[in-house]
């Protein structure tokens, strides 16, 4: 485990936690009630600012149950760069209400999960031809 510096905006809520020994993601909670109109996007504050290690990225994703609220993350997965670490840089998740009714994400709801992944930065070496054979497009490995 690696120590990550974290700031909670509301200290009444606990620090993020891994719910099981094998969990890769830690739960993120809604810091306040957020009402989202049908077909609209709402930004739910997640109560944390982090100092992500310089060689890592923070991914923020839906939990397995997020869709049960009637919402899904707009961008599929959020990317927290290591330089997003300022005093007021609270993470938020943009959620699309896919229902025909208003949805309220209630304060304290476990609405997302975060996980850290190491990354490399690329430098480009442009070539005129790829060495490998073309594999094909979507579904190129066959069905079933």
pLDDT score, position 142 = 66
Residue 43 located in a structural domain: yes
Reduced to 3 states (helix: H, G, I; strand: E, B; else coil), residue 66 is helix
Residue 19 located in a structural domain: no
Mean pLDDT of the chain: 94
Residue 137 located in a structural domain: no
Residue 34 has pLDDT above 70, yes or no: yes
**Which residues, other chains included, contact 14 with Cβ-Cβ below 8 Å and sequence gap of 6+?**
none
pLDDT score, position 120 = 95
Residue 57 located in a structural domain: yes
Residue 135 located in a structural domain: no
Model confidence, pTM: 0.87
CA dihedral 53, 1, 63, 137 (to 10 degrees): 60
Residue 58 CB-half CA count within 13 A: 25
pLDDT tens for 56-109 read 999 999 999 999 999 999 999 999 999 999 999 999 999 999 999 999 999 999
Q: Quote the DSSP letter at residue 139.
A: T
Write down the residue that tokens 């990354």 correspond to.
119
Residue 111 located in a structural domain: yes
Residue 106 located in a structural domain: yes
Q: Can you give the residue range of the structural domain that contains 96?
A: 24-118
Domain of 77: which CATH number? Answer: 2.70.40.10
pLDDT score, position 2 = 87
pLDDT band at 16 (very low <50, low <70, confident <90, very high): very high
Residue 126 located in a structural domain: no
**Domains in the chain, number:** 1
pLDDT band at 133 (very low <50, low <70, confident <90, very high): confident
Nearest to 105 by CA among 134, 138, 82, 71: 71
- C-alpha 77/C-alpha 61 separation (Å) is 5
């Amino acid at each position: 485990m690696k120590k990550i510096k974290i700031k909670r905006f509301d200290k009444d809520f606990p620090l993020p936690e891994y719910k099981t020994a094998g969990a890769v993601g830690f739960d993120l909670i809604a810091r306040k009630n957020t009402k989202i109109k049908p077909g609209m996007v709402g930004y739910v504050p997640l109560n944390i600012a982090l100092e992500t290690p310089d060689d890592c990225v923070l991914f923020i994703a839906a939990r397995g149950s997020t869709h049960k609220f009637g919402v899904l993350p707009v961008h599929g997965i959020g990317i927290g760069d290591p330089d997003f670490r300022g005093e007021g840089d609270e993470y938020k998740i943009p959620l699309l209400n896919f229902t025909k009714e208003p949805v309220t994400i209630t304060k304290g709801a476990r609405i997302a999960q975060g996980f850290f992944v190491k990354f490399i930065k690329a430098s480009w070496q442009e070539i005129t031809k790829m060495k490998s054979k073309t594999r094909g497009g979507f579904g190129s490995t066959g069905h079933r």
